Structure 1
Amino acid sequence: MKEFTKYFIVISLMFLGFWACQPPTTSLSFSDADITYEGRILMRDTVAELIWPGTSVSIRFKGTGLSATLQDLDTANYYNVIIDDVPTAVIHTDTTKRHYVLASDLKKGVHTVQLFKRTEWDKGKTLFYGFKLHEGSKILSPPKPKKRKIEFYGNSITCGYGNEDTSDQDRWFGYFQNNYETYAAITARHFNAQYHCIAKSGIGITVSWFPMVMPEMYNRLDPTDSTSVWDFNGYVPDVVVINLFQNDSWIVTDPNNEQFINRFGEQAPADTTIIQAYENFVGSIRGQYPQAAIICALGNMDATKSGSAWPGYVQSAVLQLNDPDIYTCFFPYKDTGGHPKVDEQRQMASQLIKFIEANIDW
Structure 2
Amino acid sequence: MQSSIKYVFILFLVISCKSIKLLEVSKINYNDKSIVFEGRIGENPKEKAKEIYWSGSSIKLNFKGTALKVVLNDENGVNYFNVILDGKPIDVLKLKKGLSTYTLAENLENKAHSIELTKRNEWTYGTTCFYGFELNGIVLAPDNTKKLFIEFYGDSITVGHGNEDYDSGQDRNDGNVTNNYNSYAAITARNLNASYACIARSGIGVTVSWFNMIMPEMYDRLNPNDAESKWDFSKKQPDIVVVNLFQNDSWILNRPKHEEFKRRFGNKKPTEKEIIAAYSNFVKSIRTHYANASIVCLLGDMDITKENSPWPNYVTKTVNDLGDKKVYTCFVPYKQTKKHPRVKDHQVMANQLTTLIKSSILVK
**TM-score, normalised with respect to structure 1:** 0.92
Where 1:294 maps in the other structure, the secondary structure is strand
| Aligned counterpart, 1:12 | none
| Aligned counterpart, 1:329 | 330
| Aligned counterpart, 1:161 | 161
Contact 2:77 2:98 (C-alpha < 8 Å) held by counterparts:
no
Task: Write the mapping of 1:202-281 to structure 2, written as runs, cut at 5 A.
Answer: 202-281=203-282
Deviations along 1:307-341, whole A, 9 cap, x unmatched? 11100111111111100100000010011241000
| Aligned counterpart, 1:189 | 190
Distance 2:344 2:313 in 1: 27
| Aligned counterpart, 2:4 | none
Contact 1:222 1:228 (C-alpha < 8 Å) held by counterparts:
yes
| Aligned counterpart, 2:81 | 79
| Residue number among 126, 129, 142 corresponding to 2:131 in the alignment | 129
Larger radius of gyration: 2
Deviations along 1:138-177, whole A, 9 cap, x unmatched? 0112112111100000000000000010132101222210
Where 2:66 maps in the other structure, the secondary structure is coil
Contact 2:205 2:215 (C-alpha < 8 Å) held by counterparts:
yes
| Aligned counterpart, 1:198 | 199
Task: Write the mapping of 1:92-107 to structure 2, written as runs, cut at 5 A.
Answer: 92-107=94-109
| Aligned counterpart, 2:62 | 60
Deviations along 1:288-308, whole A, 9 cap, x unmatched? 111111000001000111011
Task: Write the mapping of 1:273-292 to structure 2, written as runs, cut at 5 A.
Answer: 273-292=274-293
Q: Which runs of 5+ in 2 are unaligned?
A: 1-22
Distance 1:24 1:237 in 2: 40
Residue 350 in 1 paired to residue 341 in 2? no
Where 1:60 maps in the other structure, the secondary structure is strand
Greater shift in the superposed pair: 101-110 or 39-48: 101-110
Residue 140 in 1 paired to residue 129 in 2? no
Task: Write the mapping of 1:293-312 to structure 2, written as runs, cut at 5 A.
Answer: 293-312=294-313
Where 2:107 maps in the other structure, the secondary structure is coil
Distance 1:321 1:162 in 2: 35
Deviation, structure 1 residue 24: 6.3
Distance 1:332 1:226 in 2: 35
Task: Write the mapping of 1:309-324 to structure 2, written as runs, cut at 5 A.
Answer: 309-324=310-325
Deviation, structure 1 residue 270: 0.4
Where 1:263 maps in the other structure, the secondary structure is helix
Distance 1:323 1:196 in 2: 23
| Aligned counterpart, 1:89 | 91
| Aligned counterpart, 2:340 | 339
Where 2:202 maps in the other structure, the secondary structure is coil
| Aligned counterpart, 1:112 | 114
Distance 2:161 2:186 in 1: 14
Distance 1:34 1:206 in 2: 42
Distance 2:189 2:174 in 1: 25
Deviations along 1:19-62, whole A, 9 cap, x unmatched? xxxx9610011011111100000111111111000000000101
| Aligned counterpart, 2:178 | 177
Greater shift in the superposed pair: 237-246 or 336-345: 336-345
Distance 2:281 2:338 in 1: 32
Where 1:101 maps in the other structure, the secondary structure is strand
Alignment root-mean-square deviation, CA:
1.1
Letter in structure 1 aligned against 2:134: K
Contact 2:42 2:52 (C-alpha < 8 Å) held by counterparts:
yes
Q: Which runs of 5+ in 1 are unaligned?
A: 1-22
Letter in structure 2 aligned against 1:348: M
Task: Write the mapping of 1:11-26 to structure 2, written as runs, cut at 5 A.
Answer: 25-26=25-26
Where 2:234 maps in the other structure, the secondary structure is helix
Deviation, structure 1 residue 96: 2.8
Contact 1:168 1:338 (C-alpha < 8 Å) held by counterparts:
no
Contact 1:123 1:174 (C-alpha < 8 Å) held by counterparts:
no
Where 1:65 maps in the other structure, the secondary structure is strand
| Aligned counterpart, 1:8 | none
Contact 2:29 2:133 (C-alpha < 8 Å) held by counterparts:
yes
| Aligned counterpart, 1:5 | none
Where 1:285 maps in the other structure, the secondary structure is helix
| Aligned counterpart, 2:13 | none
Distance 2:297 2:163 in 1: 22
| Aligned counterpart, 1:3 | none
Letter in structure 1 aligned against 2:215: M
Distance 1:114 1:32 in 2: 15
Distance 1:271 1:159 in 2: 27
